[in-house]
Each structure stands twice: as C-alpha cells, then as structure tokens.
Structure 1
C-alpha cells in the first residue's frame, strides 16, 4: 500500500499559552514576569537555542536583575526549574507544564558562554529536573507579621498525607477548577499553619462558596478569622457564623435596609465594628440611628466615621456617648457666648476725652459786679 504524505505549505509560527496559565497564574503575576515567561515559551520553538541573560534583557528592554527576579518567581510557582553551578551561577532552565505539574519538563537549551558584564553564564541545556523548586508556604498561628516557612521536605510530606490529598480534591470540586499552586499553598497553610482540621477546611470551602465567594483571598481571610477566634470544630464555626449573620441583619435593619443580604464591602465594615472595635450591638445601633437622622439614608461610610471617632475616644457604653454629647454641647455654648458682640466701648474722639472744667457761677457773677 502506497504511503500518503501530508504537507502544510503555510507554516505559521505560533506560541501556545496554556489557559491554565492565563486563568491561575497570570492574574497574580507582575507584568514583567509574564513577559519573561512568554519569551521563554517563544524560545522553545527554536530549540535548541543559545542566549545569555544579557541578550534576554536587551531583547525585553529590562535589566538582568529583573530577569533573575522573574525566573525565581516562576520557580516558586513550580512552572520552571533553575539549575545552578557549584559557584551558584545560573546555567539552565527547565519549563514545567502548568496543566500537569509533572517532572516531564520541556527544556530551553543554550550553550555555555560567559556574560562579561556581570560574569553570569548563559542559560544552558536542562533536561528533566532532578527536583522541583518547592514554593514557600507560611506557617504558624494567624499572625501576618510572624510567619515561618515550610521546608520543601515538609511540603512533600504534606502532599502525601491522605487528608491533604482529600482536601485538595474537595477544593477543586467546590471551586470548579484545577487548583493553582498559590491555592494549594493556601490550603496547606490552613492545615499545617493555622491548625484547621480537614473537616473544618471542608466546611470553610462549603461556607464561602455557598455565599458566592470563590476567591482564595476571601477564603483565607475567613480561615484566619476562625483561627484567631479559637474555632477548631465545624460546630463552633456554624455557631459563630450564625451569630454574626444575625448581627449583620440587625445592623442592616437599624439602617433601614431590608429584604437583601449584605454585600462584601458592608460585611468588611461590620466585621471591623464587631471584631476590631469590639463595639456592642447597642452602640452600633446608636451610630446607625444617628446616621439616618443626619443623612436621611443608609450610609455605611457615615456610620463608620461615627464609630471610628468613638473608638478613638475609647467609648465603651451608651453613658460614654452621652458624656461626649454633653461635652460637645458645652463647647458649642461656649463658642456661642464668645461669638456674641460685647457692648460698644465709649467713643475715643477728642471731644469726649476732653477733661471738662468745673465753674462756680455765683463767684463768677460777684466778680463781674465788683468790676
């Protein structure tokens, strides 16, 4: 049987950018980093290729330091692996598939050459990486200013944990997509850093998604709030959510808002009043009442200004508010009294200032008669 040869006369050059990269990696990345990654993908079409960091920087109109920062960023995202010499010089790059995250890497090849300006060797051929660069994951209790990093060994250990495997699978079902490395890191942080149980993390995902919040940042915010509140079980989380939901609607009612749920910006402000300022409901309701009286509408921003002022003045009770009102009234009255015009002073003209002479008219008459 004769073989048929299929030929294509229009060899259009294209660079394929994965949808997974666009959806999960590109939104959080610096624009310069994205440019470097796309350039590496473009270079694959001409593999094997030789180029140095200096040449790459010239082509992308940036510095070699910018190139290195971008490469290290994508290494942390597990989209590529960097190979270094014994003297800690970059000598190779291996690209990983964002869709599979396997160790079957596509390679960017380059011959060894020295960049004289910074003594940096050119990017050299790199086949399959021996070990992927593990992302850093914060650990420790919910304290943004004091987070430790998990070691690569700990990350690999966690990823072999049956509970973690189940959590990652459930998260993909709730979020309806393949998890990005950042999302996976956050889930590891909830489990190993915040100490949330697998059941609690599952309920966390269910709770956030049921309220139309699929952003990992929002989910992390709720997780940290639960950890700071000392919530360790699903039952405690449900009670906390029920309590705050009731308080949210009480505040909405005080502002005259009915028949709708609070939006995210409103929830953020109410959480500040309830959790950060630690105001009682009666104080918040008082601020809401004053807002409606002053503005004639439901203004969360106006209420927030009132409560922010009360927080600065260390208001704890309604009596504290009444005391502030009394002080304010006294200051107003003092200003009014000071603004009243005093009685007009005596005229300062020369006539009024002239010292009048006193005359004895009887003596004056006698004097005239004796003349």
Structure 2
C-alpha cells in the first residue's frame, strides 16, 4: 500500500510557487523516502546528487524539511564528477546556463569545446558557484591574461578553499590581490613579479589575522629591506608581529613606539659608567727602578770639581 504524505495547505500555497521545480521534486521524494540519502533520491529522480544536496540546503533555509549534513567544499573537490554530453545538453537548455556559456565564450574569445563546457558546468554543479560568481571569476582570469579553462578551474578551486562563495567575497579577494598585494610587493621593491604561494600566505596573515593596514605593512617592508638588505617576508613578519602585540594600528603608532624606544636608549647611554682605571704603562714604569744615594753623588761631584 502506498504511503501517504501530509503537506499543509499553507505550505502548498506559500512555499511551492516560490521554489524551483526540481527542489519541489526533491522535497516530495525526501518526504516519501524518509531515511534515504542524497544518492538514492538522485537516482530516483534521475538528477545529480549535488542537485539534491542543494535542494536540501534550500529547504533547510526555509525550515521545512530535515536538516542536511554539512557538506564541505573539500568533499566536492575530492569527488569531481564527470558529465556526459547528454547531461550537459540537458542543462544547456536552461536559460541561465545557456547565457553563462555565451558569456564565457565571449570573454575567453574562442568557441567552447565539450571539455570547456564540462568545466564551466562543474564550477556551478561541483563547486556550487552561482552564475554571477562564475562570471566574476572569468572576468578576473581574463583580466590577468589567462584564457584557458584549466587555469580558470584552478583559480576556482583556490577560491573554494578560501571560502569564497559569493560575489562580494570574490570582489574583496580580487581587490586584495590587485591592490594590497601589489602595494606590498612594490614596498619590497618587487613590483615586476607576482608573489609566490608562500609570500601570499604571509600577506594574507598580515591583512586578515594581524588586521594591519596597508600603510603599516609598507613601513615594515621598507624597514626590512633597509635593515637586512634583502626581501625577507619572515623578517617583516617578525616586525609586524611585535607591532600587533604592541597594539599598532597606524603609522602614527609606529612613530610613538620609535620615540619611546629612542628615549629609553638615551636614558641608558646617559648613565655614568664606572670604569676601573689601570696605571698607564710605559717603558719607564716597566723598567726596574734603581735606588740612588744622592749624598754620595754630590760628594763625588765635589771631588771631581776640586781636581780641576
């Protein structure tokens, strides 16, 4: 006997008209198969498992269905799906996806291959990027002079690991790389090259963890070069760590610290020093001293004079 599903009329009237048709199907199938996992529901509906997870997340936000287990971006990365031409053709019928592919073709300046289309769709389905975020990603890569989809996918994976899942976060990240990173590299005298991964790690720490302003970071970089004669991110990090612990937020705070250090140094150097003096050594003092009988000398001198 078929199992009955109870759905309130309020839900049917207010929620169903707002939800995408696929999400409605997932909702009903989830109700019908109470303990089914995403893979089972995806198989029943002949859709992708990621579609089911995305639908669950939608309904969870609407507080209408069972909680969905948190699926980290890393899980999707380790299970990159392969898309058949039939799957891609089906999704290319959707207006948004079709428009995205046209935008991608225009930005990349070439006809898209099946592999290109698969990669672009993967950004949407696999990494969970929105259409708008993918367009921002493509614009960013092209503006840096890279038009290959492998590079675009690599950047997308880096964004996913960084937790960049919205356009606002992407814009913030792009601003950090194009403005802050460039300014820091220029302060090191390295404006002619891109930072390597280790250098980016330091710069992200200074901007995010230390929450240092770009002006303070510039001072640290300049002092690093002046004091060491080379580019040393580790040395600059030691400076910024001390400033962070001292509560430095602006270049004015650095000047205050410098004055305090100079005053303390002056006090130390102005203190009288007790120096144990040693007798000055010379050849007369070092020479063995003789004992003279001056009366005898005078007598000898008189006798010598009387002879003359």
Alignment TM-score > 0.5, same fold: no
Tell me the TM-score normalized by structure 2: 0.44
- Bigger radius of gyration: 2
Tell me the TM-score normalized by structure 1: 0.38
Q: Which has the higher strand share?
A: 1
